[in-house]
Amino acid sequence: MKLSYQQTQLDNGLRVITCAMPYAYSVGVGFHLAVGSRYESEELAGISHFVEHMMFKGTERRPSPQALAAQIEGCGGVFNAATAQEGTVLWAKLPRGHLNLALDVLADMLRHSLLLPEEIEKERRVILEELAASQDVPEELASQLIYEITWPGHPLGRDIAGTPESVRRITREAMTAYLASHFSPQATVLSVAGDVDHEQVVAAAEALLGDWSAASAASFEPAPADGADVRAAILHRDTEQTHFILHLPAFSRRDPDRYALGLLHTVLGEGMSSRLFLEIRERLGLAYAVDSHVVLLTDTGVMGVYAAVAPENTRQALRAVLGELRRLREAPVAPEVLERAREYSKGRLMLGMEDTLAVGGWLGRQAVLNHEVLTVEEAMARMDAVTVEDIQRVAQRVIRPAGARLALVGPHDPAESSAFEEMLAEEL
């Protein structure tokens, strides 16, 4: 059965998108907002994440975290939220028949959070502990470091949760002002998937959110052009492994080449049949964890490679990674390799669409961030259109020594960073 969707825009700009899955026992509901850490000033870094936490601390009608949780969990449901660089999502998944409850609770959290001073101070301590915990996880440190040197001095280069200093500065007044200026109906998509009727969802959204006043569209600072001086950075930690991440500059999520990039990344480092896994883990035995990833944003993006290896094997592993990247740039992949990557990607997409929350998330993210909503079949058709020539052209577009950035966390002297910079220049 093909998954189709319906979409309606309310007078205040809020968009409602639904996907009917009449066979499903659950309903997935998500409020997707075009607001995240890159919308923040340095002074208030982390405020999006802080506000997201505060939505769970009580509303006018449900004045405590327990009262909110009791409503959702009382019927076996789950709910949560997440903040990213360009988006925030507040979601719930409940047994079918409880859609109106989910909409009522989530809309209440979104619009009527109390932001009680005593709860703000408690949650501030929680977030400071969250930031402190990341300092004990070397792969998280590597991730923070690579973003800092990829987009230095820019909101994209900061931790989504902010810094201890900025979190301590955030006041209730700042939260109230941020909610008023950044959380608005025209920046919000309500996505619902399950055994639902579109017109009934629209009517419920109108009743709960129709009086939500539109605000001026929030904006963010454009991503800087490549030009940072630091190509490689080392953070010394006495760890058993070296964790390294390599970033290569890519392009926006709206670029026509994004499907070719996705398949290029699959060939390179997704799954146990990828080139990085076969070369670095299976043939060389250098790493347990090695993979690639792609991050696409509104105006920029990266393709990255992560690996964790014994410190004495760092250079050998990095050299092997660079060799695989160079091979992708210089030689076309075999047609059968592309076909395997294509079927892998299509299969993963289809498997994910059996869950109502995943379907709602798929539609909501597209609507709020891409301003284009594809069906699964349309997305797979775009994958089918990618050719061997497209893969190599995109590889040549992305795999460039001048844009490469490398972050390492482990028992290394930071003075070694210049040697790693030379390796990037010489071997990529």
- pLDDT above 90 covers what percent of the chain? 95
Query: What is the tens place of the pLDDT at every residue in 89-113?
Result: 999 999 999 999 999 999 999 999 9
Q: Where are the domains of the chain?
A: 6-209, 232-427
CATH code linked to domain 232-427: 3.30.830.10
Q: Do domains 6-209 and 232-427 have the same CATH topology?
A: yes
CA–CA gap between residue 160 and residue 25 (Å, rounded): 35
CA–CA gap between residue 88 and residue 27 (Å, rounded): 20
Closest among 309, 295, 268, 297 to 143, alpha carbons compared? 295
CB distance 10 to 185 below 8 Å: yes
CA distances from 323 to 69, 84, 261, 326, 336 (A): 51, 32, 18, 5, 21
The mean pLDDT value for 179-207 works out to: 97
Q: CATH class for domain 6-209?
A: alpha beta
The mean pLDDT value for 302-316 works out to: 98
Query: What is the tens place of the pLDDT at every residue in 136-172?
Result: 999 999 999 999 999 999 999 999 999 999 999 999 9
Q: In the predicted model, what is the mean pLDDT of the chain?
A: 96
Catalytic residue status for 52 = yes
- Is pLDDT at 228 greater than 70 in this prediction? no
pLDDT value at residue 415: 96
The mean pLDDT value for 111-137 works out to: 97
Which of 216-220, 329-333, 422-426 comes out lowest in average pLDDT? 216-220
Model confidence pTM above 0.85: yes
Q: How confident is the model at residue 227 (pLDDT cuts 50, 70, 90)?
A: low
| Residue 335 tokens, joined | 């047609």
Helix (H, G, I), strand (E, B) or coil at 32: strand
pLDDT value at residue 77: 98
Cα 280–Cα 283–Cα 287 angle in degrees, nearest 5: 35
Which of 40, 42, 43, 52 does the annotation list as catalytic? 52
The mean pLDDT value for 404-413 works out to: 97
Query: What is the tens place of the pLDDT at every residue in 270-287?
Result: 999 999 999 999 999 999
| Residue 49 tokens, joined | 């994440």
- Is pLDDT at 226 greater than 80 in this prediction? no
H or E segment and range at residue 172: helix 172-182
Helix, strand, coil shares, percent, the chain, to 5: 50, 20, 30
pLDDT value at residue 216: 83
